[in-house]
Structure 1
Amino acid sequence: MNYKQYLLGLFIIVLTGCSGYTKKDGKVYLRSSNEARIGVRYLEVDNADYSSFKVINHNTNLDLAKDKNHIFIGTSILADAEPSTFEHIKEYYWKDKNYVYLLRFGGTDSKIKQADVKTFEVIDDNLWAKDKDHVYYGLQKLHGADPKKFKAIDEDWGKDGSFFYWHELRIDSLDYASAKILSPYYIKDKQHVYYNDRLVEGANASAFVPDGVGSFGHDDKNMYDREKNEGPITEQYRRTYIDKE
């Protein structure tokens, strides 16, 4: 999955020419982002203070604003955000004096709850980040990851000095020295194949090949869907995936 294209829950900013927010007759409104289906509509931003309300300028596709009391994401209040110290870090990451927020997926509770505000940094432009004590994928903390040694390999895989991680999941039984990433979902070592962090039972690691763009793969005898062995390779499967190689 390409997370840079995954904008679930977000709104497109267009204020009076460049944002979706507008102020009229003592109230604040947000122009609907679903105009193709319902036509042009303006949704009232409840609890917005008219005089202090302003759009927060930044470089991400996100309806974000503040007044003297609240931070607003779309028409909703961002839970616990403190407006006087709220500032942009990078991409979809923001912070105030108390919390770090990831606003990539919408939602009003977008705190990275254990993040240390003072030392938090984005590792790359995907969903990897770290602070002095922990590494994070999105909103989730990676169990046991060493932030001093952690490297983001791509948008799905990362590693520190001891373990590989698929998103926030650690592959504990993977042989680190012989590990080889096969696809956004599959990884193997000299003996085993894993789908995310789950062992693909019985797969021949030396012959295993991921198929298509999703969860399928095959070795020299069998076909697999995620970690499940689907039995001997069928002619249909061979025509669809293997013969195209």
Structure 2
Amino acid sequence: MLSTSSCVILFVQQRVGINVKHKVFFRDKEVPGADPATFKEVDFYIGQDKHRAYNKGIPTQIKDYSKLTEVGSLMYSDGTNIYDSHFNILPEADVATFEHISDNWYKDKSYVWWSSQLVAGANPKTFQPVSEGGFGGDFNYGKDDKHVFWNDSIIQGADPGSFEKMTFPDGDSWTVFDR
């Protein structure tokens, strides 16, 4: 048994007739298709064998986890695709221009994302997170030249020209509003 702070990987020998069969488990479930001879833990909840990477014991599309680069804290790139934290491909993402803006916000030349969700109607040329004051973070508010967004949704009726986040003097509270 290999035990780390992130997961427990068990290598189990099962006697079947005279053959010995090895299996890989993540917690209490067998990792489907994993090759015990080459399987190793490579990151928090991530395993890799000669075939692919596994996320929490689930096979992914990633062939070689070591070739991934982090883009912000939620996305990865292998130079060909952009992947979310569950290793799903973001099919609309342009690898050459994809970038982390702030917190959960990402953009490329054509689109804006909040986390892995495409933000419909957002203009990547004018989009910016709404972050002001000392409380820190944008609290998932963003705006472009036409809309104000919370997460991946447009806030109907909000004015992007005057929408702002205000921190109060007590330092523990804040609000957002437009004029």
TM-score, length-scaled by structure 2: 0.70
Structure 1: distance between partners of 2:120 and 2:161 = 20
Q: 1:154 to 1:91 in 2, by over 3 A?
A: farther
Question: What is the 5 A alignment of 1:90-239?
Answer: 90-103=43-56, 108=57, 110-112=58-60, 114-117=61-64, 120-123=67-70, 126-139=73-86, 140-182=88-130, 183-210=138-165, 217-220=176-179
Equivalent residue of 2:37, what SS? helix
- Give, in angstroms, the shift of residue 160 of structure 1: 2.5
Amino acid at match of 1:202: G
Do the aligned residues in 1 keep the contact of 2:35 with 2:49 (CA within 8 Å)?
A: yes
Tell me which of 76, 79, 82 is aligned to 2:29: 76
Amino acid at match of 2:94: D
Structure 1: distance between partners of 2:119 and 2:74 = 18
Aligned residues: 157
Do the aligned residues in 2 keep the contact of 1:208 with 1:217 (CA within 8 Å)?
A: yes
TM-score, length-scaled by structure 1: 0.53
Give the root-mean-square deviation of aligned CA atoms: 3.0
Structure 1: distance between partners of 2:145 and 2:129 = 12
Percent of aligned positions with the same letter in both sequences?
22
Deviations 1:101-147 (A, max 9, x none): 223xxxx5x333x3343774141583321224211111232131122
Do the aligned residues in 2 keep the contact of 1:165 with 1:171 (CA within 8 Å)?
A: yes
- Give, in angstroms, the shift of residue 155 of structure 1: 4.9
Deviations 1:72-106 (A, max 9, x none): 22222223322222234444433222222223xxx
Do the aligned residues in 2 keep the contact of 1:67 with 1:83 (CA within 8 Å)?
A: no
Q: In the alignment, which residue of structure 1 is the partner of 2:10?
A: 65
Structure 2: distance between partners of 1:210 and 1:81 = 49
Structure 1: distance between partners of 2:98 and 2:153 = 21
Amino acid at match of 1:163: Y
Structure 2: distance between partners of 1:174 and 1:125 = 20
Structure 2: distance between partners of 1:92 and 1:148 = 28
Q: 1:175 to 1:126 in 2, by over 3 A?
A: closer
Query: Is 2:2 the partner of 1:55?
Result: yes
Q: In the alignment, which residue of structure 1 is the partner of 2:135?
A: none
Q: Which structure shows the higher helix fraction?
A: 1
Q: Which structure shows the higher strand fraction?
A: 2
Do the aligned residues in 2 keep the contact of 1:192 with 1:199 (CA within 8 Å)?
A: yes
Structure 2: distance between partners of 1:147 and 1:141 = 11
Do the aligned residues in 1 keep the contact of 2:76 with 2:84 (CA within 8 Å)?
A: yes
Amino acid at match of 2:92: G
Deviations 1:161-220 (A, max 9, x none): 33221121122421222111122422111221112222111111122235899xx84322
Q: Which runs of 5+ in 1 are unaligned?
A: 1-53, 221-245
